[in-house]
């Protein structure tokens, strides 16, 4: 990747659509229908497109309450594990309860942006 292009986190590759893309690309590489370099470019484009779409299109907010179990900071990424979590949606009409939630928090600044 060129030095002036921002890099995006690979967080969404573990989503169901990300896994489907990975499986499809892997199958195409195994069948020799695609070069691995092209697959890597497709994955980088997927990372960028998902991050930009979520940033531009998702405006909903929610609140959550729970007990912080563990937290760590490694490679500029915060990881929080919260137990007994209650999520309240913005409109206050829907509540979701979970036993355990893992939250990843990454720097939103693009490469070259001022802090």
Span 81-113, pLDDT tens digits: 999 999 998 877 788 999 999 998 887 765 555
Supply 14's token pair: 């573990």
Does position 114 have pLDDT exceeding 70, yes or no? no
Q: Is the pTM of this model over 0.75?
A: no
Q: Is 67 or 77 the better-scoring residue by pLDDT? A: 67
Q: Please give the domain boundaries of the chain with CATH numbers for all domains.
A: 11-57 (1.10.287.190), 62-106 (2.30.18.10)
* CB environment 11-27: b (16+ within 10 A), e (fewer): ebeeeeebeebeeebee
Total residues belonging to the chain: 115
SS3 88: strand
Does position 115 have pLDDT exceeding 50, yes or no? no
Q: Is 32 or 76 the better-scoring residue by pLDDT? A: 32
Distance CA 51, CA 109 (A): 12
């Amino acid at each position: 990747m060129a030095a002036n292009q921002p890099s995006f986190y690979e967080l969404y590759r573990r989503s169901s659509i990300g896994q489907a893309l990975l499986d499809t690309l892997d199958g195409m590489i195994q069948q020799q229908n695609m070069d691995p370099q092209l697959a890597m470019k497709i994955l980088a484009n997927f990372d960028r497109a998902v991050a930009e779409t979520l940033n531009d299109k998702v405006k909903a907010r929610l609140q959550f309450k729970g007990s912080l179990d563990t937290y760590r900071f490694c490679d500029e990424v915060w990881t929080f594990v919260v137990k007994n979590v209650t999520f309240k949606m913005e409109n206050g009409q829907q509540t979701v309860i979970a036993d355990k939630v893992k939250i990843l928090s990454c720097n939103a600044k693009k490469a070259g942006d001022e802090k």
